[in-house]
Amino acid sequence: MSEERPLPEPDSEELFSLLGPSALRTLYGWLYRRRGDNAPTMAEVRLFMADALGEPQEHIDRRLRELRRYFDIPSVPTPPGNPRYPLRGWAANAPDSQNLAISSRVRAQVLAPQRCFQCGKTPKEDRVKLVVDHKVPQSWGGGNEQENLQPLCEECNAGKRDYFQTYDVHAESIRAAINYAEPQRRIGELLRAFDGDWVRTDLLGIVASAQEFQEDWQRRLRDLRFLGWEIEYQRRHYEGARVWTYYRVKKWRPWPASIRDAITAEERRRRSRERPSGA
Ligand SMILES: [Zn+2]
């Protein structure tokens, strides 16, 4: 792969699927505009982080580290004591750079239904443009495998972006939750990460199905209750025409050695309580 890969535009789908959190993308966009001779100094980056992002200055190291997973942003020691940070290109070992580009064959397969999976509009009848959407954004650990891709119209795609941005502050927790093998644990860790805040049902569904599709992931909430968790829910009507359900955790329990065994044992205990012996 000797071909030079162009840097993504700050507003591009590629950058969104790569970075997700808007703070990172904002910082990238700024470094992108100031690449070349005009690269900002450490002091400027700090000021920008505080002004544009409202982030404490100590976050700068972490943000730069996150960006450097993907991009080559060396620290150039001029002037001394106040290094510059030029955005030079892709990092040599950018983790997703090789499979970031979805092959045209997979793209065609994903778009083949010719219908937005969210609103149902079609290019033919509604003149919408369809794009390939990552169900789980790459910045949350989602990959380019076909199961994680779906056709969305541009409008739904933009709406989803805005919605996901509201979860930026939780991006790292979501990324961590998504990686667990057991769906109960993915859901539980997500609820815990929100620390008593309400989590909308579609985010729970995405995280529940992140490793393998969960047809009936609400049952996994029941499983958590079997493990001693207390989970509340609430329906809200005021977001447009749609009624959303939200969940939050009131009390959580440490994970047993085997989640499946613990749930099975609890199921058996409850069943034997319902059917008195000797009947
Ligand atoms: Zn749509």
pLDDT digits (tens, 9 = 90+) for 245-260: 899 999 999 999 999 9
| Amino acid in position 38 | N
Segment 15-37 shows an average pLDDT of: 83
Q: Rounded to an integer, what distance in angstroms lies between the CA atom of residue 28 and that of residue 71?
A: 9
Residue 121 C-alpha to ligand 1 middle, in angstroms?
6
Are 193 and 227 in contact by the 8 Å Cβ rule? The answer is no
Residue 234 C-alpha to ligand 1 middle, in angstroms?
26
181: DSSP letter:
S
Read off the pLDDT band of 65 (50, 70, 90).
Answer: confident
Are 253 and 228 in contact by the 8 Å Cβ rule? The answer is yes
Question: Is residue 141's pLDDT more than 50?
Answer: yes
Which 3 state secondary structure label does DSSP give 18?
A: helix
State which of 83-97, 156-170, 192-206 shows the largest mean pLDDT: 192-206
Residue 137 C-alpha to ligand 1 middle, in angstroms?
17
Looking at per-residue pLDDT, the higher value among 212 and 111 belongs to 111
Residue 243 C-alpha to ligand 1 middle, in angstroms?
18
Question: Is residue 1's pLDDT more than 50?
Answer: no
Segment 191-196 shows an average pLDDT of: 88
Question: Is residue 104's pLDDT more than 60?
Answer: yes
Q: In the chain, what are the domains?
A: 13-90 (1.10.10.10), 104-165 (no CATH), 168-268 (1.10.10)
Cα→Cα distances 224→191, 244, 266, Å? 11, 21, 11
3: DSSP letter:
S
Question: Is residue 55's pLDDT more than 70?
Answer: yes
Residue 39 C-alpha to ligand 1 middle, in angstroms?
39
Residue 160 C-alpha to ligand 1 middle, in angstroms?
10
Residue 127 C-alpha to ligand 1 middle, in angstroms?
11
CB atoms within 10 A of CB 157: 20
Residue 193 C-alpha to ligand 1 middle, in angstroms?
30
The DSSP annotation for 109-145 comes to HHHTT-S-TTT---HHHH-PPEEEEESS-GGGT--SS
Residue 150 C-alpha to ligand 1 middle, in angstroms?
11
Residue 206 C-alpha to ligand 1 middle, in angstroms?
17
Q: Rounded to an integer, what distance in angstroms lies between the CA atom of residue 265 and that of residue 111?
A: 44
**So what's the pLDDT on residue 239?**
60
Looking at 54-182, list the stretches that DSSP marks H as alpha helix, in order from N- to C-terminal side: 60-68, 104-111, 123-126, 154-165, 171-178
For all residues of the chain together, what is the average pLDDT? Answer: 84
- Kindly give, in sequence order, each residue whose CB lies less than 8 Å from that of residue 245, ignoring residues fewer than 6 positions away: 200, 201, 233, 234, 235, 236
Over residues 105-124, the pLDDT tens digits come to 888 899 999 999 989 999 99
Are 28 and 15 in contact by the 8 Å Cβ rule? The answer is yes
Residue 169 C-alpha to ligand 1 middle, in angstroms?
26
Residue 120 C-alpha to ligand 1 middle, in angstroms?
6
- Residues lining ion ligand 1 (Cβ < 5 A) are 116, 118-119, 153, 156
